């Protein structure tokens, strides 16, 4: 199995061009159709309702949207001009996470950017990345807003805790794992807690990968909390020179509030290398 279609999210952020370049390189590697989708959010309805000049606000927002769409479209078309695989471009008006989730169902892999709190133009909506990851049903490659990543997937860390999400993640990441030079499965346990019977031991992941032609090493460590685990994973990635972390995403939405697991939250806030998330 390979990625036949890759969807990359484009916006007004400073890092949009790097994210697009990464998606183009992945489309070349996997000979995949590349779909570019513009999503920069909706105008704030409170501003329209309560501002005296609400109409002017809407007009200004609409003009900004048109300018951003033109820049993104030119970047996408220029960057994919010599790409030998098919491309598609979507720019729905005032698209949000829901639009991206719907479009994601036509893709095998999504490429998103980590939220940069210092870049006001990178904002789409509250918890945009988290919402897409937890709702789209597809693996999501999240690119950090800091750093340069000339190649992704040569040295991979796989986070393993024996859960359904972890098992789903290694299945979703198989196209990357089969092409990697090194793969390390990283397992952790919490002290003084008995493991649930439905959690699979790390050797299950090693054996499953071997049946798919992927030889993987194993690292074990003890973690006190989810935040602790996330920081240990990032530290190990730096020590190993990893250029990709593969992991399950944990969380749910309840009463319009997004609740994330500790490791997922740490990764989305503090990632230093690209992370492939599956939920």
pLDDT along the chain (279 residues), means of 10: 94 95 97 97 69 72 90 96 95 92 97 94 91 95 96 96 93 98 88 64 95 95 69 91 95 61 88 96
Phi, psi values for residue 54, rounded to 5° = -60, -40
Task: Tell me what pLDDT residue 165 has.
Answer: 93
Residue 220 and residue 104 share a domain = no
Phi (first) and psi of residue 37, to 5 degrees:
-130, 125
- Are residues 101 and 168 located together in one domain of the fold? no
Q: Which domain holds residue 225?
A: 155-278
pLDDT at position 255 is 41
For residue 148, being part of any structural domain is answered with no
State the pLDDT at residue 182. Answer: 97
Query: Whole-angstrom Cα distance, residue 82 to residue 226?
Result: 44
pLDDT score at 237: 93
Query: Which pLDDT does position 60 carry in this prediction?
Result: 82
- Tell which residue, 244, 4, 279, has the closest CA to residue 168: 279
One domain, residues 181 and 54: no
Q: Kindly state whether residues 36 and 134 are assigned to the same domain.
A: yes
pTM score of the predicted model: 0.92
Please indicate, yes or no, if residue 274 is contained in any of the structural domains.
Answer: yes
């Amino acid at each position: 199995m390979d990625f036949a279609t890759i969807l990359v999210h484009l916006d007004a952020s400073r890092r949009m061009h790097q994210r697009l370049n990464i998606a183009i390189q992945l489309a070349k590697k996997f000979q995949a159709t590349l779909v570019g989708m513009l999503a920069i959010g909706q105008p704030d309805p409170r501003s329209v309702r309560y501002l005296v000049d609400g109409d002017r606000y809407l007009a200004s927002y609409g003009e900004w949207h048109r300018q951003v769409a033109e820049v993104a479209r030119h970047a996408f078309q220029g960057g994919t001009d010599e790409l030998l695989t098919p491309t598609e471009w979507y720019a729905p008006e005032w698209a949000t996470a829901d639009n991206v989730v719907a479009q994601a169902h036509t893709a095998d892999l999504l490429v998103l950017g980590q939220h940069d709190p210092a870049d006001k133009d990178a904002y789409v909506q509250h918890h945009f990345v988290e919402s897409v990851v937890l709702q789209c049903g597809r693996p999501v490659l999240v690119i950090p807003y800091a750093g340069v990543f000339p190649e992704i997937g040569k040295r991979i860390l796989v986070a393993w805790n024996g859960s359904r999400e972890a098992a789903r993640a290694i299945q979703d990441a198989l196209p990357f794992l089969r092409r990697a030079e090194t793969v390390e499965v990283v397992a952790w346990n919490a002290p003084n807690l008995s493991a649930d019977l439905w959690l699979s031991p790390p050797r299950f992941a090693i054996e499953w990968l071997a049946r798919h032609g992927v030889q993987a090493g194993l690292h074990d460590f003890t973690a006190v909390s989810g935040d602790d685990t996330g920081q240990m994973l990032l530290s190990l990635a730096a020590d190993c020179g990893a250029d990709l972390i593969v992991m399950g995403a944990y969380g749910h939405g309840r009463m319009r509030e997004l609740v994330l697991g500790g490791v997922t939250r740490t990764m989305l806030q503090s990632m230093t290398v690209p992370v492939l998330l599956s939920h």
